[in-house]
Amino acid sequence: MALLEVENLNVDLSTAMGPARAVRNLNLTLDRGQSLGIVGESGCGKSMTALALMGLLPENAVTTGEIRLSNENLLKKSERDLCSIRGNRMAMIFQEPMTSLNPVHSVGRQIMEPLRLHRGLSKTDAKKKALQLMDRVGIPNPEERIANFPHQLSGGQRQRVMIAIALSCEPDILIADEPTTALDVTIQDQILELIHNLVAEEGMALILISHDLGVIAENTEKVAVMYGGTVVESGATDQIFGQLSHPYTQGLFAAMPKLGMSRNKRLTTIPGTVPDLVNLPSGCTFTDRCPLASNICKETTPPIEELGPAHTVACHNLKKAIEARSTGLYE
């Protein structure tokens, strides 16, 4: 039995323009200790998916489908039960370390909070554990730093504090939503490596969200490629990188800076922008930007086809897409 199973998840946000379909018919599975990457351009519903898993969507959101954690549907659970799961069995790190910590509490207090809440630790015990955690996530001089306020720490250090908070109760699943996007390039790799190592040591499952295919390739065993609020291709990381299939995945790959690429060669980009979620086009939502689009793409939702064991792609023109792989769709 998988640790986490997401079935037919839909998130609709009511907006002034009408309902926006931020997540549509999304399916995911995650085993204990497994790592899953969710990748896609910004605005394609990655954060909304993560927040739906945590049950922390904004008030204007309506969620349907099933999110089963150890076979229990979280969408049917009371708020009280969800509170005992959040930060305890499922923890999350956010994109913005600069604003994700409470400016008026010391970082020590913020790390101790989940320990006191879920583990019922005394102040002294929680502090001891917080010091260990700070050491573990690579914050120098924890004894001094524990009394610091967020504004006294750099962005990278704050993200380490966030990781310490997330790790504190040894969750089954760690969700990291673009944990390095807001950080300096030099710090990004350190933080990713830290997450990678901690997850391996703790045997936690990881959901790593990024718009950067490279980050996902290096850090996760499985990948789900999201576009327009749904998964267009998913499978094992080496499967996907070995046989790029969906035109959108190929586009993301083409847009990645590659080692040894000459500097004056411009990066390939996918033409156009992500679809408007309020007025989603019928059929395949990638039609407008797809070099292979045909009439059928406009009219009907593409079927989900299995290319290999657990490697699925949703595309009408899959054969053509696979043939175009060698020549490159976007040159």
Partner 1 sequence: MSVFFAKRFLTFLATLVGASIVIFIVMEILPGDPALVILGVDATDEAVLALTKELGLDRPALERYFSWISGMMQGDLGISYAYRVPVWELVEGALKITIPLAILAMTLSVILALVIGLYAAANHNKIGDVSLMGFSQLGISVPNFWLAILLILFFAVNLRWLPAGGFPGWEEGIWACFKALILPALALATVQGAMLARITRSSVLEVFREDYVRTARAKGLSQRRTLWGHVLRNSMIPVLTAMGFQFANLLAGTVVIENVFHIPGLGSTVLKAINNRDTIVVENVVLLLAGMVVLTNFVVDLLYAVIDPRLKAHDI
Q: Which positions touch Mg ion (CB under 5 A)? A: 47
Given a contact cutoff of 8 angstroms between Cβ atoms, the answer to whether 13 and 60 are in contact is yes
Applying the rule CB under 8 A, the residues between 103 and 162 that interact with partner 1 are 103-105, 110, 113-114, 117-118, 149, 151-152, 162
Closest CA to 181 of 266, 252, 98, 251: 98
Helix/strand/coil for 250: helix
Applying the rule CB under 8 A, the residues between 35 and 54 that interact with partner 1 are 54
CB of 119 to partner 1, least distance (A): 11
Given a contact cutoff of 8 angstroms between Cβ atoms, the answer to whether 236 and 222 are in contact is yes
For the window 60-89, what string marks contact with ligand ADP as x by the rule CB under 6 A?
Answer: x-----------------------------
Residues 6+ apart with CB under 8 A from 328: 250, 254, 268
Is position 73 an interface residue for partner 1 (rule: CB under 8 A)?
no
User: Distance between CA atoms of 64 and 52, rounded to whole angstroms?
Assistant: 10
Is position 47 an interface residue for ligand ADP (rule: CB under 6 A)?
yes
CB of 162 to ligand ADP, least distance (A): 17
CB of 114 to partner 1, least distance (A): 5
User: Distance between CA atoms of 177 and 46, rounded to whole angstroms?
Assistant: 8
Closest CA to 181 of 152, 205, 212, 206: 212
In the complex with partner 1, the residue whose CB is nearer, 115 or 223, is: 115
CB of 45 to ligand ADP, least distance (A): 4
For the window 271-310, what string marks contact with ligand ADP as x by the rule CB under 6 A?
Answer: ------x---------------------------------
Is position 70 an interface residue for partner 1 (rule: CB under 8 A)?
no
Closest CA to 241 of 231, 253, 224: 253
